[in-house]
Structure 1
Amino acid sequence: MFQASDYTQTVSVRLSEVLADIGVHERNVEKRRRTWMLMECMQYCSHKLTGTRQTFFLLGSKSEGTTTLGLRSDIDFLVCLNNFKILQDLSDWQPGKQNLLMINDETVPPGYCLLQCLRDDVPLPQNFVYYNLFNRERAGRILLSNKIASAIIANGTDFLPEGVRNGPAYTRTGQTGVHDIDMVGALPCKSWPLQAQQWLNQQGVGQWPLDDMKRYCSSTGCFVVGVGSKSSENEDTEWRISTSLAERCLMFNLNITQIRCYVLMKMILKTYIKPLYDNTITSFMCKTVLFKLIANTHSNFWREKNLLVCLSFCLYVLYTSTLNENCPHFIIPGNNLMAGHITQESKPRILEILQNIINSEGTALLGIECDALGERLLLKLNNLSSFKTTSGIVSGDLFKTIARMINSSIEACLIPVSNSSNEEAIQILLNRILKLAIISNQCQGLKKTACRLLAPRLCITLGSVLASLDIQQYKGISTEALVRLSMGLNTDVASSKLKLASMFYCKGDFNRTKIVLSDIEANYDPNIVEPVCSCYTCIGHYLRERFNEICDNHSDEALQYVTASCVIFLKCEINCIPVELKYELFRSTGEDLAVRVFSDIWMNWAVVDSLPYLYFLQYKTYSNLGRQDDKERALSNLIRTIDQEPNLAHRETALNILGQCMEQEVRPTDALNCYSLSLNVRGRSNAAKIHICRLLSTLINARAQNQAFQ
């Protein structure tokens, strides 16, 4: 059995403590995984409801739990188009389907394939090109062009207008406070790739992966990604075989020392390799090296007190791979991941850097600035007080991520309702709530949780639409509307209850409005509650410390106590919207509409942050009740919130409703100032333009009348 020196064991233990302090510990790893898998399940439910023929998979470091705040790992989306049936054996051909035969012949390097088009009436090759995404090669075969991968993500990237294409991926990077996103288009193959068949029968010294893991991996099938191998003659028709789901399974079965080793390798890359030689050694190569070493070492080697030795072994294997310019894919060994990545100019220097880190016996880690790892380690080794742990910040970020995904999924479901009549909207919403119930009954685990989180939000909108129809027909608010609203009142601290208050206000029931608003205010602690919005990529500020503390000590059930989503009203809810907010439904001019992108769909709605809307409704309600002191308090709170709350997403809307309050207070100069500030926040698609024109017209007409009387 391997026995590390006392020095190595001491450094390893301290290094493990540092990694735990920055969030790389079992609890946080599981929390990260659960969050991103839950998000994937919400995407699944959302696409089921909307009938989208794409499936999203969230892969990479975030879903694996192998990242830190300082690593700033991107979000890896795999967008899978389900229109095609890819088969590896003609016996799997199905009539009426767009069948594609996966070809792995001598013209294609390992890890890649061609996709031959088959007829839909008999299992024979197609013999003519019927649209431009298919190419006829020299041998006469009709092959699917990998350019379709760009088409796959084209519809899914409208919400990322800032992004750029990067090979097979669509990437958004460099925005402060916003996650980088890497989106790849792919096609699914339900069967395990033939090129990886041998892997299922191999077993190394470490007896890893276990047989049940391999059985699960083989059940995940594979994907084909639209990119050819470097310098390939089949550049337009070659597809890379991806075993991403199997690799995720392997990552989920690592112990904490193995995960920490991988995180350290990524930090070393970020510190010592990428600044000089970007896109040479990748984190996926590091993952592959880790897999290879785990498979060929005994499990008792991977212990906390051996962490430094484990890291050195991994770096040595990486060094050898770089020296030989060969890093075999763990599952498809014939695929050399380093092919074309290491130039002769960069190779000697990269080898020198790796050798120096290996020989440093851990001192090179002191130079890692990511997450202040080096500084933290030095303090630990000298038994000095260290930095605060980051677990709370990580937990808060994950909580807010879940809340944003809930909102995003609901908004996707509301798009078809945007321009519907009340009757049509009611039918669509009822159908979607029923579909969610069916999905929930057919699944378990996180998919069931996703349904439980989404359904109440749809019920709230349905209840509001029903109430709007009741008010339009001069009836009292129906029991059905109230029942539907009650199903979602506890989705968060404020937004759902604000829709109930808004409904009572528009009906003229100011006493019931006051009761609901008082309840919201009593439960909305501004020192804890975080505003949440997913209408667009808004740059957030630091999360509240107490919010992070609660998130760190509770499950995602606490979302209802610590988050406040923005309040969304559709046009079919117009009778439940105060007059002052209705202007937001008509914010865009023809010129604004011409430059809109898909992600601007929320601009068809009236959307406002919860806290300013709470104080606005209080101001209006107390005005109608003649409670002057309470009215003035609400107005002061509204002004303070707009001025001091850093995480408002719709500050321009808050300024617009404040401006109208100022008009009611006969303070036209202050009102104009509010509208001007609103335009500074958002220059296009802003109702402030309407308010400025309206107010100036009122002032001019008033002056003209005064002059006429004089």
Structure 2
Amino acid sequence: MEMPEYFTEWSIRMTEVLADIGAGKDTVIERRRTFLRMECMAEIASKYNGQDFECFHFGSQSEGTTTPGLESDIDFLASDNTANIMKDWGHWKAGMRNLLMLKDDFTPPQQYLLQKIRSDTPEPVTSLRCDLAVKKDSGEVLYSADRIKEYIEKFIIENLNDNRENIHRNGPSVSNKPNWDNVPAFHVCKPLPEIQQWIDRCRGRHWPSVQLLDAARVAPCFLVPAGHPDSDYKREEWRPSPNLIERMMMFSFNMTQIKCYIILKLIKKALFTKIVGDVITSFHCKTLMFYTIERTHPSLWFGHNLLILISNCLCILRKSLLLGRLPHYIIHGVNLFDGKVSKMQQRRLLVYVDSMIRSNLQDVLTIDIDKIGSRLRACSIVQAGEKRRVCVRDRISLLLNFESVNLCSKMLVAIKYKMHSSNTTVQQNITCLLRNVFYCSTNVRMKTVALECIKHLYVVHTLMQLSNCLRFGNVFDINIIRRLKHTLNTDVASNRLKLASILYCSGHIHAAVRVLEDVRRRFHSKVKAVCSYRVLVIDGVRDLNVFNNMLTGNSDNGLSEEHFAFCVQFSRQESYCTPVALLFEMNRNITEEGVAQRHFAAKRWMDSAEVDARPLLHYLQYLSYGGLGERHKQQCALLALKSCIFDTSNTINRYHFETAMNLLGHCHEMEGDYTKALHFYSESLSCYNTSNNAANWHVRRVLRLISG
């Protein structure tokens, strides 16, 4: 295909524009690092919860092949390690949940049935003793893909207190989060013939490389619950999915290939959707990329050729539409148009793609996602400049860090809840957990995340020890305090505030003040609060502008400063290290009906005291300065507490507003101003569920004080 003269200039401009909107090399690497880290967190959490899942993030977010405007979903796959997937009878294992892969002449390509095999002897299960199984006309008991998805849906409704309307299915995914695809799976460790056939086909080509093919041979595949739309057994069928192989191929892309793929997705979302709706998916685009890279000499994959490379991808799409067939790149015999793109839609899209190629991609100038079109239509190549580009990169990096620390916070709250609600002692639980997480740290893939998890859990362990010291009136072991100092840098404030609380409750008020002053210096105005379970109730919490504002005024320091502060949580086992007013938060409800109203997430933290870090900082300052008799500083702390609570620009960081109001009311109660105290307690009740709010107890107490 002859390249128009202006394609080189356009290509260079497109390369620069993509870098300007956050599709540069640093951001791609940061996205990959973040989501690989998040999948390790999920796996560690699953193991402590008594499950045995291998967790993965696949798709655009984890590949780094997205931009803010594409609003790509988060793809999560959990592979159940408790099942043994048998390719043949020789793979049977005693004591395991054995499932035999079945395929006959009537089974569509890329589909399998899973027959249940007994765990005590290598013989088929003959009776239906499991709700997840169905019996075939020929007598085989099958593990049903559709029943699995129904089970997950039921679990979400019953255990997460969610409505059925909020649950959406998308292929093999069942999720109650609108931007997440959660896929259950089984892994197949033995090589599949489909994969070996693909490896043989690719031998001798410049791509995939020999090293990639060797790695693909030993990489496990997954079976996901998805049937062929035209199959008689589509409700029972499982589809092999070579996600890990596809991830290796995506990670082998150079930056020009990544940008070419991103542009294809922009075209798909901004242009193809207007013609045929959303029937063309990112996976179609990814498959086009695989074929294009395979058929294009490596010397052409440079930025100045970007537009001609996109044309090559569209030419492959045009040919596929002409033939009515886009073959799966790895698994032979699978047409990716089947069940996705109707014949009518294929014809309509063919006309448009042909027109687009003939007009030399002029329609790319009309893409409004991330303002791509307007940026390209500029009269000359206008680069954003290195400073602005760094700003875009840094705010996306902050968003990714926020997602990571938010998941870490959620995981720790869930672990602590399970630990505290167990029949065994908390000390036994946390010792066992530390041992298990340390074992995870021997896995190279999970080492970094496991060690960070150990740091968080060690704080909990140490605080419980110190709380017991106070409980029995023992003198603090100074070595415990010294060890605690090594775990304070998990975020800006939360563990430091806990240390200050310990020092205050033990009478070491001067030391508490020094810690609080250190926190105040660190707690700059751009710090963002992180709450694991109330993050969804605040609009715009993930808006990129929020993270852009966090960078304003801190450009000299870049991302070297700490930017996040966890909510501070005190469990019942830490009650002797907890200020008295927060003990009421551990008993929020006044009736059993109130407890019954709590949804699944609330149950995980409502029996603890949880408060935003900044209000707690000023509350502890008020208590400490008051204990030292420094009245002026105490009044300044009270004003600072009021300011951070009522500052409208800080709304996005207020997760536990009712608890902060209770602390403010308690300050006025200690001032002897019972009228103001009652006012703030009443405000607390008006802003949050009255049946699960500690203000109920405060109001009753203050009314008794007023009445004498």
1:551 positional shift: 10
Instruction: Label 1:385 to 1:71 Cα distance change in 2 as closer, same or farther (>3 A).
Output: closer
Instruction: Label 1:394 to 1:332 Cα distance change in 2 as closer, same or farther (>3 A).
Output: same
Cα distance in 2 between the residues matched to 1:327 and 1:584: 59
Q: Counterpart of 1:148 in structure 2: which amino acid? A: I
Q: Which residue of 1 aligns with 2:676?
A: 670
Cα distance in 1 between the residues matched to 2:662 and 2:212: 57
Could you tell which deviates more after superposition, 318-327 or 87-96? 318-327
Instruction: Label 1:379 to 1:439 Cα distance change in 2 as closer, same or farther (>3 A).
Output: same
Contact 2:48 2:415 in 1 (8 A): yes
Q: Which residue of 1 aligns with 2:660?
A: 654
Q: How do 1:23-102 and structure 2 match up within 5 A?
A: 23-102=22-101
Instruction: Label 1:412 to 1:120 Cα distance change in 2 as closer, same or farther (>3 A).
Output: same
Q: How do 1:3-402 and structure 2 match up within 5 A?
A: 4-146=3-145, 147-151=147-151, 161=162, 163-167=166-170, 168-172=172-176, 180-203=179-202, 207-275=206-274, 277-379=276-378, 381=380, 383=382, 388-389=388-389, 390-402=392-404
Query: Which of 585, 593, 596 matches 1:594?
Result: 596
Is 1:533 aligned to residue 537 of structure 2? Answer: no
Q: Which residue of 2 aligns with 1:429?
A: 430
1:213 positional shift: 0.9
Q: Secondary structure at the match of 2:75?
A: strand
Q: Counterpart of 1:401 in structure 2: which amino acid? A: E
Contact 1:112 1:229 in 2 (8 A): yes
Query: Which of 682, 693, 703 matches 1:686?
Result: 693
Instruction: Label 1:144 to 1:172 Cα distance change in 2 as closer, same or farther (>3 A).
Output: closer
User: CA offsets, 1:213-257, max 9 Å, x none?
Assistant: 122223221111112111321022111111111111111111111
Cα distance in 1 between the residues matched to 2:256 and 2:313: 13
Instruction: Label 1:323 to 1:687 Cα distance change in 2 as closer, same or farther (>3 A).
Output: farther
Cα distance in 1 between the residues matched to 2:126 and 2:556: 62
Cα distance in 1 between the residues matched to 2:459 and 2:332: 53
Cα distance in 1 between the residues matched to 2:384 and 2:184: 47
Q: Which residue of 1 aligns with 2:702?
A: 695
Q: Secondary structure at the match of 1:85?
A: strand
**TM value normalised by structure 1:** 0.91
User: CA offsets, 1:285-341, max 9 Å, x none?
Assistant: 111111111112211222111111111111222233234332211110211121022
Contact 2:327 2:336 in 1 (8 A): yes
Instruction: Label 1:385 to 1:207 Cα distance change in 2 as closer, same or farther (>3 A).
Output: closer
1:264 positional shift: 1.0
Cα distance in 1 between the residues matched to 2:556 and 2:407: 21
Q: Which residue of 2 aligns with 1:705?
A: none
Q: Which residue of 2 aligns with 1:415?
A: 417
**TM value normalised by structure 2:** 0.91
Instruction: Label 1:228 to 1:587 Cα distance change in 2 as closer, same or farther (>3 A).
Output: same
Contact 2:203 2:210 in 1 (8 A): no
Q: Which structure 2 segments of 5+ residues have no match?
A: none
Q: Which residue of 2 aligns with 1:584?
A: 585
Cα distance in 1 between the residues matched to 2:348 and 2:557: 48
1:160 positional shift: 8.9
Q: Counterpart of 1:532 in structure 2: which amino acid? A: V
Cα distance in 1 between the residues matched to 2:469 and 2:621: 23
Q: Secondary structure at the match of 2:125?
A: coil
Instruction: Label 1:313 to 1:403 Cα distance change in 2 as closer, same or farther (>3 A).
Output: same
Cα distance in 1 between the residues matched to 2:327 and 2:553: 45
Contact 1:67 1:263 in 2 (8 A): yes
Alignment size in residue pairs: 689
1:391 positional shift: 1.1
Q: Which residue of 1 aligns with 2:636?
A: 633
1:622 positional shift: 1.0
Q: Counterpart of 2:528 in structure 1: which amino acid? A: E
Instruction: Label 1:159 to 1:207 Cα distance change in 2 as closer, same or farther (>3 A).
Output: farther
Instruction: Label 1:507 to 1:368 Cα distance change in 2 as closer, same or farther (>3 A).
Output: same
1:406 positional shift: 2.0
Contact 1:23 1:394 in 2 (8 A): yes
Instruction: Label 1:275 to 1:697 Cα distance change in 2 as closer, same or farther (>3 A).
Output: farther
Q: Secondary structure at the match of 1:674?
A: helix
Q: Which residue of 2 aligns with 1:707?
A: none
Contact 1:206 1:298 in 2 (8 A): no
Instruction: Label 1:520 to 1:305 Cα distance change in 2 as closer, same or farther (>3 A).
Output: same
User: CA offsets, 1:385-405, max 9 Å, x none?
Assistant: 789432121111112122112
Contact 2:455 2:487 in 1 (8 A): yes
Contact 2:195 2:217 in 1 (8 A): no
Cα distance in 1 between the residues matched to 2:686 and 2:220: 51
1:154 positional shift: 5.8
Cα distance in 2 between the residues matched to 1:173 and 1:572: 33
Q: Secondary structure at the match of 1:274?
A: helix
Q: Counterpart of 1:228 in structure 2: which amino acid? A: G
Q: Counterpart of 1:6 in structure 2: which amino acid? A: E
Instruction: Label 1:622 to 1:30 Cα distance change in 2 as closer, same or farther (>3 A).
Output: same
Instruction: Label 1:627 to 1:242 Cα distance change in 2 as closer, same or farther (>3 A).
Output: same
Q: Counterpart of 1:605 in structure 2: which amino acid? A: S
Q: Which structure 1 segments of 5+ residues have no match?
A: 175-179, 703-710
Could you tell which deviates more after superposition, 270-279 or 186-195? 270-279
Q: Counterpart of 1:587 in structure 2: which amino acid? A: R
1:544 positional shift: 4.7
Is 1:614 aligned to residue 617 of structure 2? Answer: yes
